[in-house]
Every structure is written in C-alpha cells, then in structure tokens.
Amino acid sequence: MADKQDCLASRGLTLSRRVLRRLNEVGISAQSQVSLEHQHLAKRYVVRGIESGGAVKDLGRYVTFCGPEGEAVPYLHPIDAIGVNGVHAVAVAPVLVRIEIFRTGRTCQLLISKHEPGKVENGRRPPLENRVLFRGVNGLIGLECLRTSGDLAGQSVIPEFWSRAGEMLMVPGVFASAVGAAAKGVSCVGCSHSHYLATPVGVVGVAGASV
C-alpha cells in the first residue's frame, strides 16, 4: 500500500470532505491532478497539468506549475472558463513541479512535488514518478500585503512555515517565485487568469497571461 508521502506526491494535498464541499459551495475549483501523456510526433512522454483555482475572502485553493529549477514554463494554451476561480491554462513539459496551496484566512498548507516520466522498459509505457520536495503545514500568509491596492511586484508574499519545534522551515529558494505566485493566486478573489505559467513567445494579448 502506498504510504502517505506517495499519496501526497501523486494526488496532492489531502483535504477533508467538509473542506471540499465548502470549496464547491463557494465556486473554487482547483485541479491538482497530473497525468502522463505521449507525444507521437516527438516520440516522447510528457507531463500535463492545469493551472487552476482562486479565492473568496477567507478561503482559497490554487495549483500552478513550474520547471525543475523553478522556472516559469510556457502554457500550452489558456482556458476561457465560465465563471471565475476555475481552470486557467494547460501546462505540458517533460518535467513539471506542482505548487499547490490551500488557504483558510491567513493559515495555509503548501505542497511542492516533482513529476516526471519513469524509465521506459521493453517498449512499455513508463510509470509517472512523483516525489514530494517540500511540505508546509499551517503556515502564515501575509494577507494584509495582498489586500493593499496597487502593484504587488517586489512585495514578498511567500508564506512562512515552522517545524513542530518552532524552527523556521524555508521554502526551497529555487521555487520562491513560483510559491509567491501561487500565494497570490490563493488570495486572488474572483481569479480569472494564470499567475505563473508564462505566455508562449509570439503570443500577444492572450487571456490567461501571467500576472
């Protein structure tokens, strides 16, 4: 039986039925699933995920993706959804790192996990390998910063986490930008755009551009 870390890595944050019901009631839909896909022309396997989510005043859930070094990856295409706080854009890459945040008030849960195709053996479809890189429990997000008007560029919105012994747990530096973007997303009331996936080169004025 898969252990707790394996479940976290493959499925994302474990939320209770009560929490999931509440998210559904307020219209927040974040998709944490990742899948292994095969590109027939390129003859390779890739990982697919969907940047999604948003917030109401005191509740939020957001999922975004980046590259293995924290770099923003171009979205495959944006998704024009009906309503807000839902799906925003599709990401496809050889390796994806998922950034998932759930927030109630100022308290948040953070999961960073890496997803990549496993080894191809005897021509068979490889497994999707999933690994937890960071888990933050009951962290604190500075919502007073996010509730101010004006440009948030340059303002730190990375949540703070502590160990059970009271020691600061640092989010891996390479993922700081991605986590900061996800923190903005999980506090973005009525979110209708992508916060971290990059606009592909040559695409101008497309809905879903990173903000």
DSSP string, 139-152: EE--HHHHTSSS--
pLDDT for the residue 206 = 44
What is the tens place of the pLDDT at every residue in 135-160? 999 999 986 655 654 445 556 689 99
Distance in angstroms (rounded) separating the CA atoms of residues 85 and 51: 11
Distance in Å from the first CA to the final CA of the chain: 41
Strand pairing category for 96-104 and 87-93: unpaired
pLDDT for the residue 103 = 96
State which residues of the chain have pLDDT below 70. 1-2, 143-156, 202-211
What is the tens place of the pLDDT at every residue in 38-64? 999 999 999 999 999 999 999 999 999
Tokens of 43: 């003859």
pLDDT for the residue 153 = 52
pLDDT for the residue 106 = 93
pTM of the model: 0.90
